[in-house]
Structure 1
Amino acid sequence: MTQPLPATPITAPTHPDPYPFYADLVANRPFGYDTGSGLWVAAGASAVSEVLTNPACRVRPSTEPVPRGLLGTPAGDVFGELARMTDGPSQVRRKQLLLAALSTVTEEQVVGPAAEQAGRSTDWAELQFGVPARVVASLLGLAGDIPGEAARLIGEFVRCLPASATAEDQVAAAAAADRLLDLLGPRLRAENGGLIGELVRLAVRDDWQETAPLLANVIGLLAQTYDATAGLVGNTLLALARHGQPDDLRAFVAEVVRHDAPIQNTRRFVATATTIAGHEVPAGSAILLLLAAANRDPLANLDPHAFRPDRADPQVFTFGQGPHRCPGHVVAAAITIGVISTVTGVPSHEGYRPSPNARIPVLKGQFQ
């Protein structure tokens, strides 16, 4: 039975098959204004690239750099310092610091611990959410019971990040951020091992006196591998069920990132009037970027709806482009490789977790 198309671009990420809907937008309206949502929508690869690299398009509205419901809370303090939620010179400096620290991590340092953690997991949800958060916590240099507690807390904190966050989500995130700051703050020392120590050493080298941005972006590293990695693990397992075991797991995971993107969309906010894809877009406008649609634009990737791990140099928009390209995408892929290399069972699934931008299957069936 043919599934009805999604009602709106916002409901597409959790639809059983949003890709015919995306294909129609790419072909017939690669960029345009959606009266139902009040958003401009970029679906074509060229339009998405334009928005992601346009300096007039910011990650937050200029009138509300931190969501009002988070102001004056620990979650608001963290949110306002995150490299992913800021623009301008401060964002560039924070991003460079994160990239420099992450460049010290090898794939082997991630794949092995992810496989070990996956081997101790007891259910699919733990495999998708708990394992990635604990692996990143360990990479940060946290030990003992702290990675487990950090994994639990980051699940509460990320509730404040989507544009659809409710007042209840913001309250939960504020409490989690408060505890994360208490938990991680005392460990922000150069003599600590892992990424925390590396970040502190790099900050000292660059004469960076502030600790609040460092601490916030340590939390940000945990958050960035949460929903995205959970979706990538789940969607890779479903791809294995459809396509069988691959010869090259690394290439297989990379094609899942493109073909069934764990992060389907993101938003930008227009600070000053600009022109995108020939359209005049006023200041104050919000743009929904359909990253998953751009991945399947035939102008970006030939035969885009085919699952082909052997693609040469595919264009992939899942983790963004330009100044806000996700610095944790390599870690997310390596965690997924480690998890998948250990799992022996192939799950079924029952729909997708509610989300305005992430595609995270609810896995069912016998574990392992």
Structure 2
Amino acid sequence: MDAFYASVEQLDDPSLSGKALAVGGSSKRGVVAAASYEARKFGVKSAMSGRLAARLCPHLIFVKPRFERYKEISQIIRKVFFEYTDLVEPLSLDEAYLDVTVNKFDYPSATILAREIRKKIKDRTGLNASAGISINKFIAKIASDINKPNGQKTIPPEDVISFLETLDIRKFHGVGKVTQEKMYGLGIFTGVDLKLKTLEYLQDHFGKSGLHYFNVVRGIHLSEVKPSRIRKSLGAERTFSENISSEIYMLEKLEDIAEEVERRLKGSRVAGKTITLKLKTSDFNIQTRSKTLKFFISSKALIMEETKALLFQEPIKDSIRLLGISLSNLNTDKTPKVTPKLKEEQLKLPF
């Protein structure tokens, strides 16, 4: 979806249409959750502090997020997806992968199918969507950003290699700012630069990610669309209006967070063995402390017992602006089932 949260706000309040809008908080602690395209022209983007966003765009309008409303519209959009295929892998409220190789209408073209899905989303929600179409998830993801907003891009099999070779490395999905700067420092600016590096070279400089970079620049990405994504962790966190430095106050905050984690675990009917305490200091450094238990837990009492031990594991030298608790190593099935027939038939659909 295009600027999803911001677009929903503009849809529901026509007075905001065409204006620079940020969903999130404008205070010194506020963070931008989403920005309209009008705001993006001024450099405003998600995860940016509200204070910086307001400085970049003085006429920026801030609105509070309404996640229940976003979920409501997201459900409408997902219903559209399932009208065409059961192989839908949601990534978030506003994004998903679809494998349409075997689709319910026997469409001969993935490009035409994507265009129809986008039109149906527009008809049912009033919102614009963009799409990327290609031979695997990695390239489709990159393609989905090319003609935003309200557009789509198809990278057919015969164009994949030339497309990747000319692409700026910063546009490769999964290459963040730190990795981008490291690659630039090594003389890797485009896909063709990356392709010239050996597997050994990439593994020496990027560790386990080296094999991924070696493969994807050659159009190799074997991850299937997984209709039932397995949750790997579940947690909650809180950012505070004022920094806190006393462990007593931290424990009070952690009590509330543990209660929320318990509620989410029970709602998802899962429990976890590995508990992690997350701390973000006043200078934005993130620390994590983890412990793996011999048994699964989901109750607030046990979560707090282990969290308290992690908190006092070593002294906290800086004041804290964020605390979080998460459970991983969950008691969930780890093997989503995909029928052999669908697996064999993937990626044969004409583009």
Output the TM-score relative to the length of structure 1.
0.27
* Bigger RCO of structures 1 and 2 (CA < 8 A, at least 6 apart): 1
More strand by share: 2
Q: Which structure would you say has the larger Rg? A: 2
